Structure 1
Amino acid sequence: GVNVQQKGNGNVFYPCVPVPTEPEAGGSRLSGLWKQNQLIHSLSNGLRRHCDYVKISVPPEERGADSLPSEWWKTGVAFLYALFILVFTTVVITVVHERVPDKSVSPPLPDKFFDYLDRVPWAFTVTEVNGLVLVGLWLVQWIFLKHKAIIARRCFFLIGTLYMYRCVTMYITTLPVPGKHMVCAPKLFPGLMSCWLCVSSGLSLTGSHLMCGDFLYSGHTVMLTLSYLFIKEYSARWMWWYHWFCWLLSASGVLCILIAHEHYSIDVVVGYFATTRTFWWYHTMANTHALRDAPNNYLSRAWWSPVFKFLERNVHTTVPVEFSWPVAPPSSCRQRYRMVEGGRDE
């Protein structure tokens, strides 16, 4: 038999077949076998030339190497990080709310967008409905993704990081309200207002959009943009119609923020650039493995680079867009399915 060798990297090698000698005597059967062996040897030498072995690559699945481990505990850490930042955001909003100047003292700042478009009162409702639809679509899509643990911790980390940036910007610079139509809640009971913001998610649909000062930058822009980016990144390319629908929801929602005069234009612009750049930087690092330890990789100088290495240390390949049932079917159903498939094959 042929001596098969397997190296440590999972590649299988077959040594060259020695040249068979022609039988001195024998029947036609032995002569046929000799000619067959000689033909195999000639073809092998033609392919291998002067090589001693033929290299056969074995896929990682056959080697048992798990290049995409779930590591749900890391996802839990990322979730706690995002949850802490979101709760901390409500505290910062209540603090900033106490510092917002009265409209009679500090009128709204001039804004070019407001100069050309009058306020449409119902536009902000469109923004929040679009945002809820996008978040719902992304949640349903995520449930059916195969590698949901890896994708979820990326989502939680980006949400937490973007809202942490927002805490910094709205705390260091408190802008006056963008329109005289805005009615701010009384500057009393900051602890109670923080709890109400946590429960109601800060939406005007729940009647909680009464806190002022959280303008730079727009949190609604962050969620509209980030939801669309994740939907597009982790869905198949042939679903272009789905991508366009989600893009229209996101773009119209962002535009309605300005039409409703709920944010200054700079709030929306900064929110868009902060969201897209952070998302693209993170996924560039995640999908380009040569960059992770490259000495000339300036992206690794970001403050969140150690956190990135912690979350992505065992992810050795680009996460493919694969879908699976969130709950495995019962064994009886699987057995029945195999019986049906076996009957069809017969």
Structure 2
Amino acid sequence: MAASELIQDSGDVRPHVEVNVTMTNPDTPPHPPRVANGSLAFQASSPTPPADAQKQQEGSKLSSLFRQSQLIHSLSSGLRRHCDYVKITVPEECSNRLPKEWWKTGVAFLYALFILFFTTVIITVVHERVPDKSVSPPLPDKFFDYMDRVPWAFTVTEVNGLILVGLWLVQLIFLKHKAIIGRRCFFLIGTLYMYRCVTMYITTLPVPGKHMVCAPKLYNDSTGKIWRILRLISGGGLSLTGSHLMCGDFLYSGHTVMLTLSYLFIKEYSPRWMWWYQWICWFLSASGVVCILIAHEHYSIDVVVGYFATTRTFWWYHTMANTHVLRQAPNNFLSRTWWNPIFNFLERNVQTTVPVVFSWPVALPSSCRQHYRMVEGGRDE
């Protein structure tokens, strides 16, 4: 006869076991011997095992199957109990939500480059309109009333600015989404310096101190003005390089813009655990701005307007960039800025907040990648 048995587990694992057992019926009489030529012919056959041995063998099979079922049950229950340790979460692919679009970054870079060149032209033009110190003395300034001039303070300002700009460029190179962040930086630099061109052209302030030495006016000498523009560009507009000898670019302070903007980008695109790095950059930025006033190189209003223009433009742009519901909201007054069409052009395909993720700017060689995997594997073990 044939017997089938199913061993089921209470969990998700349900092994199906089928056992075929063949038993002989002892009541059936044996076949009579065959007769050949009138004599009995005996046929040798294999001995049949007794019924008790077959039952014992069947029981041993069932017991082994039962032990296997118990083992499977214990494993499945253990996995259910510790499912949080073996669960693997696959992050959502967001590359299509943060497209690089390097060509847009190139457009923003050309925009900033053109505005910086245009700024040098405006400084050269404004320099011809600055009133003489003997005719128009410096305007009264409350900060100057309480703080005497320190000659070396402006050098501290420019050194701090160079350090901050260098740190930000290195940080930008190692950011994964440098294309998106870079075009934001270039657009804000160009926009802030364009504002500066407008303010210092429409209102020309006298020099803030008698100590300032201004280059002589050229009036109708166009060739001399072109050489001054090229000299100012080659020296980066810094007093350290001796390229900035012109006056009139007071309202508002370009040094304040670069010190403040560099710190804002460093803080925005660095992780929170680098708080010490952020505080060092804040100290460099704040001390550099204060040293502008200590050196009497700008009026207090120049520094205040430069700070407010930089911070508000940075915060408005990033509020619209990180809050996607504002882009199409009808009550969004931030969308009424003149640069909103440019913002939509630069940020149209950026569908999520840009995460702070660092990566190597260039691909590592295969040998370095293999060594890196071996180190990571050793750490995992």
- TM-score bracket, shorter-length normalisation: 0.7 to 0.9
Indicate the SS of the match to 2:97. Answer: coil
- The one of 263, 270, 282 equivalent to 1:228 is 263
Structure with larger Rg = 2
What's 1:17 paired with? none
Is 1:191–2:226 an aligned residue pair? yes
Summarize the Cα distance change of 1:65–1:186 in structure 2 as closer, same or farther, 3 Å threshold: closer
> What CA distance in whole angstroms lies between the structure 1 residues aligned with 2:137 and 2:110?
39
- Amino acid of the structure 1 residue aligned with 2:200: M
What's 2:283 paired with? 248
- Amino acid of the structure 1 residue aligned with 2:119: T
Gaps of 5+ in 2: 15-88, 219-223
Indicate the SS of the match to 1:129. Answer: helix
Q: C-alpha deviations, 1:67-91, integer Å up to 9, x for none? A: 1111111100000000000000000
Summarize the Cα distance change of 1:343–1:285 in structure 2 as closer, same or farther, 3 Å threshold: closer
Gaps of 5+ in 1: 1-24, 38-56
- Amino acid of the structure 2 residue aligned with 1:211: M
The within-5 A match list for 1:19-34 is: 27-29=5-7, 31-32=8-9
Residue pair 2:234, 2:243 contacting (<8 A) in 1 also: no
Residue pair 2:157, 2:291 contacting (<8 A) in 1 also: yes
Q: CA deviation at 1:192?
A: 1.4
Residue pair 2:160, 2:284 contacting (<8 A) in 1 also: yes
What's 2:333 paired with? 298
> What CA distance in whole angstroms lies between the structure 1 residues aligned with 2:124 and 2:112?
19
What's 2:92 paired with? 60
Summarize the Cα distance change of 1:345–1:190 in structure 2 as closer, same or farther, 3 Å threshold: closer
- The one of 162, 165, 181 equivalent to 1:135 is 165
- Amino acid of the structure 2 residue aligned with 1:160: G
Q: C-alpha deviations, 1:268-302, integer Å up to 9, x for none? A: 00000000000000000010011111111000010
- TM-score, scaled relative to structure 2: 0.75
- TM-score, scaled relative to structure 1: 0.82
> What CA distance in whole angstroms lies between the structure 2 residues aligned with 1:269 and 1:34?
71
Q: CA deviation at 1:310?
A: 0.7
For the aligned residues, what is the CA RMSD? Answer: 2.0
Is 1:104–2:96 an aligned residue pair? no
Q: CA deviation at 1:27?
A: 2.2
Summarize the Cα distance change of 1:345–1:265 in structure 2 as closer, same or farther, 3 Å threshold: closer
Indicate the SS of the match to 1:153. Answer: helix
Is 1:76–2:54 an aligned residue pair? no
Q: C-alpha deviations, 1:200-236, integer Å up to 9, x for none? A: 1111101122110000000000000000000000001
- Amino acid of the structure 2 residue aligned with 1:278: T
Indicate the SS of the match to 1:205. Answer: coil
- Amino acid of the structure 2 residue aligned with 1:124: F
What's 2:202 paired with? 172
Indicate the SS of the match to 1:238. Answer: helix
The within-5 A match list for 1:260-275 is: 260-275=295-310
What's 1:47 paired with? none
Residue pair 2:174, 2:359 contacting (<8 A) in 1 also: yes
Indicate the SS of the match to 1:60. Answer: coil
What is the total number of aligned residue pairs between the two structures?
A: 300
> What CA distance in whole angstroms lies between the structure 1 residues aligned with 2:126 and 2:190?
19
Indicate the SS of the match to 1:178. Answer: coil
Is 1:281–2:316 an aligned residue pair? yes
Indicate the SS of the match to 1:141. Answer: helix
> What CA distance in whole angstroms lies between the structure 2 residues aligned with 1:215 and 1:341?
55
> What CA distance in whole angstroms lies between the structure 1 residues aligned with 2:314 and 2:173?
21
> What CA distance in whole angstroms lies between the structure 1 residues aligned with 2:128 and 2:12?
95
Q: CA deviation at 1:152?
A: 0.4
> What CA distance in whole angstroms lies between the structure 1 residues aligned with 2:227 and 2:11?
92
